Amino acid sequence: MSEPDSSLTVVRDVASLRRRVKVWHGEQRTVALVPTMGALHAGHMALVKRAKALADAVVVSIFVNPTQFGPNEDLDAYPRRDAEDWALLNAAGVDLIFMPDASVMYPDGFQTAVQVPAVSQGLCGTHRPGHFEGVATVVTKLLLQGLPDLALFGEKDFQQLAVIKRLVIDLDIPVDVLSVPTVRERDGLALSSRNAYLSEDERAIAPKFYATLSAAAAAIANGADIKACCAQAERAVLAAGFSSVDYIEVRVADSLLPLKVLGSEARILGAATLGQTRLIDNVKIPAQQAGG
Ligand code: AMP
């Protein structure tokens, strides 16, 4: 694979990444890492923009991590668009791309795994066994490989964000984890590399997922019964043309524990399949109306 003609450096091994970060730190420059699986879109670029605003140097990793895909998932079909990604990152003023091969991340004999059991339980954890262990392990490795000052993640993958926040605390990894709100299409559909799988007809239906979650969030904020709202939202998503709903649930935002009483920070999260494409999304439940 030839590398594009650009001033942006691509490194593929840990020693080269560390060397660059060490130079920046020696110059008292702060370093931000934005981990991605490539096929970049405006959601990823919002993380990059935030990283540029907060740190002196920005590293973007691109690695389609095999261990977070289940045996029947889309690892082979996952979009790979290296040249376009590099052009976007170059235009955004990113300093370095870290793009390891699987053999760099998981050399022969590799056997360690990071588990964050409680936060990984339920929601996507139930429907994608092993997924969050794969995510937790690869993110831990990326953070220890680069030792950035900041790392940025999207609220789009809300359970993933909670897993990462927890592991950074539990493992004393010296990095600030920052989150960025979900970037959406004009019709509300959350940007995702997997949206490329949607047919034209499916693309027209897809925004109904966010619309339904938002309507449920508003109703709950107005005092409607949480269980009834989630059940109603499931019916609405199926009626819109989705083939199945994995879950639509309300959780405490920080811990992702089941919500007992509607209080400070509640979030409605969902996953549903449209044709062959599994979509996830989540919406903050606004603070309850006075007297509601
Ligand atoms: P991925 O390439 O799907 O692993 O995503 C890399 C990072 O981009 C993760 O932190 C995601 O949460 C974040 N991300 C993906 N889609 C969006 C979006 N629509 N808005 C904001 N962040 C996103």
Q: What is the pLDDT along the chain (292 residues), one digit of tens a residue?
A: 445 545 789 999 999 999 999 999 999 999 999 999 999 999 999 999 999 999 999 999 999 999 999 999 999 999 999 999 999 999 999 999 999 999 999 999 999 999 999 999 999 999 999 999 999 999 999 999 999 999 999 999 999 999 999 999 999 999 999 999 999 999 999 999 999 999 999 999 999 999 999 999 999 999 999 999 999 999 999 999 999 999 999 999 988 988 877 776 899 999 999 999 999 999 999 886 544 4
d(CA 228, ligand 1 centre) in Å? 30
Pocket test for ligand 1, best of 36, 67, 75 (most atoms within 8 A of CB): 36
Strand arrangement, sheet containing 244-252: 244-252, 266-274, 277-285
Please tell me if the CB atom of residue 131 comes closer than 6 angstroms to any atom of ligand 1.
no
Please spell the DSSP secondary structure of 147-168, one letter per residue.
--SEEEEETTSHHHHHHHHHHH
If DSSP codes are grouped into helix, strand and coil, which group holds residue 251? strand
The domains of the chain, with CATH numbers, are: 9-180 (3.40.50.620), 193-285 (3.30.1300.10)
Q: Is 179 in the pocket of ligand 1 (CB under 6 A)?
A: no
The alpha carbon of 62 and the centre of ligand 1 are apart by a number of angstroms equal to 12
How buried is residue 65: exposed, middle or buried, by Cβ count under 10 Å (0-12/13-18/19+)?
buried
- pTM assigned to the model: 0.96
Concerning whether 44 is annotated as a catalytic residue, the answer is: yes
The sign one gets for the Cα dihedral 21, 25, 26, 29 is positive
Residue showing tokens 């895909």: 69
Q: What is the DSSP letter of 256?
A: -
Q: How far is the CA of 217 from the centre of ligand 1 (A)?
A: 22
Task: Name the catalytic one among 25, 44, 127, 131.
Answer: 44
SS3 288: coil
